[in-house]
Amino acid sequence: MLDGVMRRLIDPGLNTVGARLAALGVGANGVTLAGLAVGLAGAWIIAAAGPWWAALGLVIASRVLDGLDGAVARVQGKTDFGGYLDIVCDFAFYAAVPLAFVLREPSVNGLAGSFLLASFYVNGATFLGYAVLAEKRGLTTRSRGEKSLYFTAGLLEGTETIAFFVVLCLWPSAFVPLALLFGGLCFVTALSRVVIAAQSFRV
């Protein structure tokens, strides 16, 4: 819901830094993989019940790198594999953080974490399925920035998910109610994408 607004706020700064990284010879795929590595390190700290500030810093740094890879790619030239790698790493990161909270306290967080991961799975399926059919029909949009895939709008998008992870890092003891709430909203988002797909791809 907020991705369009957020992109307009952060893209100028990301593009400036991305252009400098590209000039230094840093590749977009390397930035993508670095973002995943940093995010997984943050998830490991969460699972190990390490300091919250370290986990929070790594989670935020991971998402900054996720934004920078696109900025670098826009300078060096986008590739289909780069777009593919980006979305795979994004999904790996989004799965790792809830899993980390489950591993942190399995008996307490297991059920809510499973529900949250299931909602991510279903929501991801509606997102990627729409992108495939949009590509087939030649549909394009830049409302969520310049992307390799068609990004459909939804109640919960990347901005909301990052904010959710930040709140979890700050208040890990509230994981269960927050996960159930966010997971429920993810299912609502998935349903809304199904409705949009029914309207867009009926013929």
Cα 88 to Cα 78: distance, rounded to the nearest angstrom: 16
Residues found in the chain: 203
For residue range 41-63, list pLDDT tens digits in order: 999 999 999 999 999 999 999 99
Whole-number mean pLDDT of the chain?
88
Amino acid at 75: V
Query: Whole-prediction pTM value?
Result: 0.86
**What CATH number does the domain located at 3-200 have?**
1.20.120.1760
Residue of 140 and 92 predicted with greater confidence: 92
Degrees, nearest 5: CA angle 191-192-193: 90
- Kindly give, in sequence order, each residue whose CB lies less than 8 Å from that of residue 48, ignoring residues fewer than 6 positions away: 104
Measured between its terminal Cα atoms, the distance across the chain in Å is: 27
DSSP letter for each residue of 172-192: GGGHHHHHHHHHHHHHHHHHH
**CB < 8 Å & 24+ apart, contacts of 86-92:** 86/32, 86/148, 87/128, 87/148, 87/149, 89/32, 89/33, 89/35, 89/36, 90/66, 90/158, 91/124, 92/36, 92/40
In the chain, domain spans: 3-200
| Both structure tokens of 91 | 């999904």
Could you tell me if 162 and 95 are in contact, meaning their C-beta atoms sit under 8 angstroms apart?
no
Confidence of residue 201 (pLDDT cuts 50, 70, 90): confident
Nearest to 4, CA basis, from 201, 192, 194, 145: 145
Is residue 74 within a helix (H) or strand (E), and if so which, with residue range? Answer: helix 52-76
Backbone φ and ψ of 143, nearest 5°: -65, -25
Cα 67 to Cα 70: distance, rounded to the nearest angstrom: 6
* Res 139 pLDDT > 80: no
Half-sphere exposure of 67 (CA within 13 A, CB side): 23
* Res 6 pLDDT > 90: no
* Res 140 pLDDT > 80: no
